[in-house]
């Protein structure tokens, strides 16, 4: 019997040129491709906020993607925090929030 992969849950704040460049859609597609559960939204201060949960290797891959961003973005920083896993089902969504567009 194999052991299921360890789960991680993170909260992240991404700063730089990350609104109006398709960043939320990029994160949503990446999260769904990786089989993660979570959400992403724009914040009033121009940053992008997200939470993601899933296998540790998939979370690591998402973190790498956050640092790169989509082609039109310029990521200055990614602030990460660890949260206790909640056991959320798969599915990554865009949440509405304060934003200048995207």
Which of 42, 76, 95, 100 does the annotation list as catalytic? 42
Q: Say how far apart CA 4 and CA 68 lie, in whole Å.
A: 29
- Is 25 annotated as catalytic? no
Which of 9, 24, 33, 41 does the annotation list as catalytic? 24
- Is 95 annotated as catalytic? no
Helix, strand, coil percentages (3-state) for the chain, rounded to 5, are: 25, 40, 40
Q: Say how far apart CA 40 and CA 69 lie, in whole Å.
A: 13
Q: Say how far apart CA 91 and CA 102 lie, in whole Å.
A: 20
User: What is the full DSSP assignment across 44-55?
Assistant: TTS-EEEEEEEE
Which residues are known to be catalytic? Answer: 24, 42
């Amino acid at each position: 019997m194999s052991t299921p992969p360890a789960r991680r849950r993170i909260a992240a704040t991404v700063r730089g040129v990350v609104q109006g460049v398709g960043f939320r859609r990029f994160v949503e597609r990446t999260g769904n491709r990786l089989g993660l559960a979570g959400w992403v939204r724009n914040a009033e201060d121009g940053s992008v906020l997200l939470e993601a949960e899933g296998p540790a290797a998939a979370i690591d891959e998402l973190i790498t993607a956050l640092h790169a961003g989509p082609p039109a973005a310029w990521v200055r920083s990614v602030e990460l925090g660890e949260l206790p896993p909640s056991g959320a089902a798969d599915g990554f969504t865009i949440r509405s929030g304060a934003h200048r567009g995207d």
